[in-house]
Amino acid sequence: MDRGATERYARHLLLPAVGELGQRRLRAAHVAVIGVGGLGSPALLYLAAAGVGRLTIIDDDVVDVTNLQRQVIHPDAAVGQPKVDSAAAAVRALNPDVDVITHRARLTPGNAAELLAGAYLVLDGSDNFETRYAVNDACAALGLPCVWASVYRLQAQVSVFWADPPAPHRGTDLRDLFPAPPAPGTVPTCGDAGVLGALTGQVGSMMAGEAVKLICGIGTPLLGRVAFVDLADATVTHLPLAPRPRSHSRPRSGPPEATAAPATPPTHQHPLVTPTDLAAELTSETPPVVLDVREPAEVAIAAIPGSLRVPLADVLADPTAIGLAPDADVVVHCKVQPRAEAAAAALTQAGASRVRVLAGGILAWVREVDPSQPAY
């Protein structure tokens, strides 16, 4: 190692578990990071600072002002820019020796092999189930270890999935923990439920630590274990994860296209009404009932005046408890649309005959009808 590298990584070189050999392994490593959000942001910064030689950054989104509370790799000036560009600039500014490859794209079963080409391991910081399962299935097919995490409000889960790890470890993947993704709209996202920014920093750092351990061959990685992090109680609980019986598990070989379950987009079973049309209807002599199925904290940010507010969980538990007449003209809405679709389906199944869904949810209402209210 030259003098510059020796000085930069001196604190690593002092660690008996890392030393010069571990630092050389980091320099030779290639890590693909999926998603530059709350988890990918701190993980990328620490991987770059650790001296990982090549980082591939994959994300199709742009920086939004609502990201800045937790996605610490993006500065305020980057709002509106592609996340991969903002992240690449931050990585290069932190450590110019790191080779950065960017792909402004969403990883899918069809492009996974190309986007992950040459990677030693994958860090999954994606924020949607379709991408998470595509990443998992691609890693299982390509034989790549995947550092995975998920956050919800003040809690998180972290693990390392590897279909064919070295002995004595047994191979596991995301489908051993959750065999199939949940139905669209049944699990709230961070944008729906909220998340503490510091928690994503803590968990993203844990993910970077697991990646460094795997690269350097040190410590005991989270293979066959899931770490449950509860920030409110300051606890981390480890639970074992065993592979499902082979007769019921998915194939662990073959190209990603052959092993990945095709994503099924949600179908809209109920008529949609645009925000402008709904605004006009609300001024008529027979306005519809507007049912807001978001959480109270969301309603406090922005709301349609006069709406009936019942969280989705309560609607699903007992649609009749709302007290709507079977022939009532009802327009259901949430933040965007998925939760409203789920609530509309429950109401219809309970006997409601005139249920519509607000296209685009409250965000579309704010954008098209009442821009005086904030988006979130």
Which residues are the active-site residues?
190, 334
Using CA atoms, how far apart are residues 333 and 365, in angstroms rounded to an integer?
A: 10
Using CA atoms, how far apart are residues 214 and 162, in angstroms rounded to an integer?
A: 11
* Count of other CB atoms within 10 angstroms of residue 170: 14
SS3 state of residue 294: coil
What would the two tokens of residue 304 be?
Answer: 């349609």
**Backbone dihedral region for residue 37 (phi beyond 0: left; psi -120 to 50: alpha; all else: beta):** beta
Q: Please, are residues 51 and 97 in contact by the beta-carbon 8 Å criterion?
A: yes
Using CA atoms, how far apart are residues 317 and 91, in angstroms rounded to an integer?
A: 47
Could you tell me the CA-to-CA distances from 278 to 290, 359, 367 in Å, in that order? 9, 10, 14
Say whether the peptide bond before residue 168 is cis (omega within 30 degrees of 0).
yes
Q: Please, are residues 334 and 363 in contact by the beta-carbon 8 Å criterion?
A: no
Using CA atoms, how far apart are residues 352 and 327, in angstroms rounded to an integer?
A: 6
Supply φ then ψ for residue 246, to 5 degrees: -55, -30
* Closest residue by Cα to residue 125 from 143, 107, 142: 107
